[in-house]
Structure formats: C-alpha cells, structure tokens
C-alpha cells in the first residue's frame, strides 16, 4: 500500500486511535465477567493463524472480534474519507477481506467467530456472546463428532 502524506493534525489523531482496550471492549469484558464468563484477552485462537481475537473463550472455542465502524467498513456507519480517498478505500476493503479470511480460517478449525460492531448495544452484544458460549459448552466443540 502506498503511503500518502498526511497533515500533522491527521497524523496525530490517527496515532491516538487505540487498537486494544477500547471503551466498548473494556465495557463488554466487564459485562461478560459479571455474567460469570471467564476468557482470555487478545489471543490467537488457532496456532499458525496470525489473527488475534479481542476476547477468546478457549474451551468453548468462541472468538470475539469487536470491529470499529470506520476501520472495518460498517454498513450502517462507515464513512469514506475525501482526503487520500484511494488509500483509505483500499485500507478498509483490505480489512474487510482479512476479516472474512479470519472467519473462514477459524471456522475451519472448529471455532465460532462472533463479530460485534462498536455501535452495538452492550447488553445485546453480551447476551449474544453469553448464549453462544453456553451453547457451545454443552455441545463440547473440542470433542470429535
């Protein structure tokens, strides 16, 4: 990807964007912990696959990714920058392709991938994850079928 010159203001703003422990991520982890779920944070669910999930439930094989609306091209909230438009469109579309590839690779390894958009209601997201983890605990995804 060709890197284009940006203004100092833009460069500073983008460098401050957190890639982990964002507010939604921390709030979601608190809600899941309060619901009695235990998990690992920022782990690679599958050895040999260089993709790190935000929240990992190892025994249940559930990997949670919290996607930012801008960075992952949310169908509801994504915006396309006018400055360096080609660069940003390529970046966001590359992120989308990588997300699909990650979902496929983890599914092939027996994992359930849950993607949460940063704008989703915390209670809805936590309930979706809780239900999936509980269901997979009872079906024992680590056992051969």
Domain that holds residue 126: 19-136
- Is residue 74 in a domain? yes
Count of domains observed in the chain: 1
Measured at the CA of 114, the angle between CA 92 and CA 97, to 5 degrees, comes to: 25
The predicted pLDDT at position 8 comes to 66
* Domain CATH number, residue 93: 3.40.960.10
What does the pLDDT average to over 126-136?
Answer: 97
Give per-residue pLDDT as tens, 80-115. Answer: 888 889 999 999 999 999 999 999 999 999 999 999
Tell me which of 138 and 24 has the higher pLDDT: 24
| Cβ atoms of residues 25 and 54 within 8 Å | yes
Q: Report how far residue 103's alpha carbon sits from residue 124's, in angstroms, rounded to the nearest whole number.
A: 21
- Is residue 106 in a domain? yes
- Is residue 11 in a domain? no
Among 52-61, 78-87, 127-136, the range scoring the smallest mean pLDDT is: 78-87
- Is residue 145 in a domain? no
What is the chain's mean pLDDT, rounded? 88
Buried b (16+ CB within 10 A) or exposed e, 49-62: eebbbbbbbeebbb
The predicted pLDDT at position 145 comes to 44
> What predicted TM-score, i.e. pTM, was given to this entire model?
0.84
Q: Report how far residue 19's alpha carbon sits from residue 61's, in angstroms, rounded to the nearest whole number.
A: 23
The predicted pLDDT at position 37 comes to 97
Q: What is the DSSP letter of 22?
A: -
| Cβ atoms of residues 79 and 70 within 8 Å | yes
Give per-residue pLDDT as tens, 6-26. Answer: 666 655 655 556 567 899 999
- Is residue 101 in a domain? yes
- Is residue 38 in a domain? yes
- Is residue 47 in a domain? yes
What does the pLDDT average to over 53-73?
Answer: 95
- Is residue 103 in a domain? yes
């Amino acid at each position: 990807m060709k890197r284009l010159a940006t203004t100092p203001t833009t460069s500073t703003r983008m460098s401050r964007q957190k890639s982990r422990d964002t507010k939604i991520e921390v709030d979601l982890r608190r809600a899941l912990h309060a619901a009695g779920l235990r998990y690992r944070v920022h782990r690679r669910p599958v050895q040999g696959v260089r993709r790190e999930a935000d929240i990992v439930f190892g025994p249940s094989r559930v990997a949670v990714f919290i996607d930012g609306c801008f960075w992952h091209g949310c169908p509801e909230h994504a915006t396309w920058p006018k400055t360096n438009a080609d660069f940003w469109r390529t970046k966001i579309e590359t992120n989308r392709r990588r997300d699909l590839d990650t979902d496929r690779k983890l599914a092939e390894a027996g994992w359930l991938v849950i993607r949460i958009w940063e704008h989703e209601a915390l209670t809805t997201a936590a309930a979706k994850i809780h239900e999936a983890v509980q269901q997979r605990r009872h079906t024992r995804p680590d056992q051969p079928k």
